[in-house]
Amino acid sequence: MKLLYYLLLFCGSCIAQEVDIYFDFNKYDINMQAKQTLELFTQSYKDALIVELRGYCDHVGSDAYNDTLAMKRIRAVQNALRELKFNVPDKTTIKSYGERFEQLPEQSANRKVSIVYKIPEKVAVKSELSEFRKSTRNAKVGDIIKLPGMNFFNNSAKMLPKSVPTLEELLCILEENPNLHIEIQGHICCQRERDVSDISTARARAVFNYLIQKGINRKRLTYKGYGISRPIHKIPEKSELEEEENRRVEIRIVKI
């Protein structure tokens, strides 16, 4: 009998999803990158139900100042969503954490608002167990598996909203397999000589940070950027498809 599950863009204990909107230091206005993320989110998840908005700050400044700044960031996201004609219910839960949470080493990752949302059950799709999940279940130590659908803004470590289902699935796999240890590997395209801004490492680190924020023990995870040292297609690529396939994130199975 074939194994089937409901693909709700989340799985297992992953009931709700999040998309993070990042802010500049000591600012609460929506910058260009945040605007792009919000536009992509509203276009990709028109049926999403927003249930909570969470505001965060880095550790610079007093608790009271950061509480106020986090709340201003939440209001800015609310207003931006409404300007995009996206429904934000009045009963949406709002929480200002300020700096009172486990801070990540990279301070820019702490300056954000998390949009917590759910996909209504009516859009759930019955699907066979994904090839990605099958690959991890059948993997051996040393195997390398591509994260399908992982995409980033150009020359950036900021993930596109459409990457969230893959991240949620990886999170669920790690939760279901507590002995699984992985190395997260970042790769880029197009640059002929080297990864000038070390974007490949930043992208791998972004996946690492996402997982530890969701409660995965950091001892189970490592990350590394490989730049252009392991292209699938010879650089310079001949098409946008080849560029996309070179610009990827993979996981290597370290321990099962």
Q: What is the pLDDT of residue 113?
A: 95
Q: Enter the DSSP assignment of 103.
A: -
Instruction: List, as one string, the DSSP characters of 35-77.
Output: HHHHHHHHHH-TT-EEEEEEEE--SSS-HHHHHHHHHHHHHHH
Q: Which of 83, 44, 71 is nearest to 161 (CA)?
A: 44
Indicate the fold that domain 129-255 takes in CATH.
Answer: 60s Ribosomal Protein L30; Chain: A; (3.30.1330)
Please give the CATH superfamily to which domain 7-122 belongs: OmpA-like domain (3.30.1330.60)
Using an 8 Å Cβ cutoff, are 252 and 185 in contact?
yes
β-pair type (181-186, 221-225): parallel
| Residues 42, 50: Cα–Cα separation, whole Å | 11
Q: What is the pLDDT of residue 249?
A: 93
pLDDT tens series, the chain, 256 aa = 232 333 333 343 345 678 899 999 999 999 998 998 898 888 877 878 899 999 999 999 999 999 999 999 999 999 999 999 998 988 899 999 999 998 888 888 899 999 998 876 544 333 434 788 888 888 999 999 999 888 777 677 888 777 888 888 899 899 989 999 999 999 988 877 777 778 899 999 999 999 998 889 999 999 999 988 888 898 888 887 888 788 889 999 999 9
Q: Give the start-to-end residue ranges of the domains of the chain.
A: 7-122, 129-255
Do the first three CATH levels of 7-122 and 129-255 match, i.e. the same topology? Answer: yes
Direct distance between the N- and C-terminal alpha carbons of the chain, in angstroms, rounded to an integer: 26
Using an 8 Å Cβ cutoff, are 181 and 139 in contact?
no
Q: Which of 120, 148, 156, 141 is nearest to 34 (CA)?
A: 156
